[in-house]
Amino acid sequence: MLAWTIYISFLGAAALMLLPKESARSARALALLTACIGFLIAIAGTLHAKSGALQSIVRTCWVPSLGIEYHLAADGISLTLVLLTGIAAIAGILFRGTLSIGQRSSSRSTSRSSPASMASS
């Protein structure tokens, strides 16, 4: 179940690449929807996990001739970090949605003087 948090993120990123450049509002909405779905899946996976045990989520042969496997597993700390990542993603999308480009650029340009302008005055 937790593997779907990875898959949902990739699907959301692919869908964002297909949106037109001018649709910033719909891009934010899609990003928020993707992050929320991933977070809900992470909560469900965390609640489903057994305490103190390593949860083997996916184990598949990738290159059988070389003995290479794709193995995705999580323990208690990893599950906590998955939840924290979901919270950080949602918070970042919500915070970024409240700033406009004018606000962001004006907060970067402060009233500090450059060394060249200080030398000329």
What mean pLDDT, rounded, does the chain reach?
Answer: 82
| Mean pLDDT along residues 27-46 | 93
pLDDT tier at 63 (50, 70, 90 boundaries)? very high
Rg (CA), the chain: 21
Reply yes or no on whether the pLDDT at 4 is more than 80. Answer: yes
- What region, left, alpha or beta, does residue 25 occupy, with left being phi > 0 and alpha being psi -120 to 50 degrees? alpha
Stretch (H or E) spanning 42:
helix 24-48
Q: What is the pLDDT of residue 83?
A: 93
Reply yes or no on whether the pLDDT at 58 is more than 80. Answer: yes
Phi/psi of residue 59, nearest 5 degrees: -145, 105
Reply yes or no on whether the pLDDT at 102 is more than 80. Answer: no
| Mean pLDDT along residues 30-43 | 94
